Amino acid sequence: MTDLISEVAKRVASAIKGTIPHPRFGLVSAVDPVNHAVKVHLQPEDIESGWMPYLVGARSGALRSGSPPSMGQHVKVTPIEGDPEHLVASADIHDDIVQAPTSPVTGKPAQPGEWLVRAGCGAPPTTTDGRSSGEADENGAWYHLMADAFHAGAGNASLSIANGSITLKVGAASFTFTAASLAVLGANIMTDQTVTGQTDVKTSSVRLNNHVHGGVKSGSDATSRPE
């Protein structure tokens, strides 16, 4: 008799548990960027929800960030205080279809202690330009915050800041500034080209083009001092 009562109690408890709303997975089906809200197809039934707020990425006092979710994005949906009519999309979920972005610097996803943001990643099922889902646009903007350096870029231009150096790159050209030197590689230095009509370098008062010194011996011989 005791075993029968225990079994009945377990079944009743299981039935009650099944009626209590719990976190679900879903796929974003509509986005309202103004109100930062989404609709979600709840899984596995694939039933569309009503509008619900979407978790803010980062906020502290007056500092805010904004990044509306994409259509088809995989999210976790959480009922507030067990109310199935009061839902919030509480987290993004990376999966086999939409994977974490890889860094243009390391070729890997962000590691522990790092923050990687990359725009232009495809949303399911494919992007409008035919890229596969989750594949990053090589021209999209990005930044990678690491423990010892900061990197950012867009297209073929990038900026890297590390202890003791700042490097700017555009294509094959680079500009590296350290406490000891300034190096420019793969590019000409020029100023006022639209004014002079030619490549030139200019300080506050001197141009290198057609710049001459008076009192210097003419000819091919070298001089140790002006004559």
**CATH of residue 53:** 2.40.50.230
pTM of structure: 0.65
> Mind listing the pLDDT tens digit for each residue in 88-106?
998 888 877 777 888 989 9
Please list the helix, strand and coil fractions of the chain in percent, rounded to the nearest 5, in that order. 10, 35, 55
> Mind listing the pLDDT tens digit for each residue in 6-22?
665 565 545 445 556 68
Q: Is residue 53 part of a domain?
A: yes
> Mind listing the pLDDT tens digit for each residue in 66-79?
788 888 888 999 99
> Mind listing the pLDDT tens digit for each residue in 30-56?
999 999 899 999 988 888 999 999 987
SS3 196: helix
Distances, alpha carbon 160 to alpha carbons 7, 181, 191, in Å: 65, 16, 24
pLDDT score at 100: 82
Q: Is residue 59 part of a domain?
A: yes
Distance CA 169, CA 161 (A): 12
SS3 11: helix
pLDDT score at 217: 67
Q: Is residue 70 part of a domain?
A: yes
In the chain, the number of structural domains is 1
> Mind listing the pLDDT tens digit for each residue in 169-205?
999 899 999 999 888 888 776 665 555 556 666 665 6
Rounded average pLDDT over 80-91? 84
Percent residues over pLDDT 90 in the chain = 28
pLDDT score at 197: 59
pLDDT score at 159: 95
Q: Is residue 88 part of a domain?
A: yes
End-to-end CA, the chain: 122
pLDDT score at 140: 83
Distance CA 120, CA 135 (A): 8
Tell how far CA 153 is from the center of its chain. 9
Distance CA 26, CA 24 (A): 7
Q: Is residue 25 part of a domain?
A: yes
pLDDT: which is higher, 166 or 99: 166
Q: Are 98 and 134 in contact (CB under 8 A)?
A: yes
Q: Is residue 220 part of a domain?
A: no
Q: Is residue 77 part of a domain?
A: yes
pLDDT: which is higher, 139 or 30: 30
- Expressed as residue numbers, the domain containing 9 is 1-93
pLDDT: which is higher, 76 or 211: 76
Q: Is residue 197 part of a domain?
A: no
Name which of 58, 50, 59 is nearest 87 in CA terms: 50
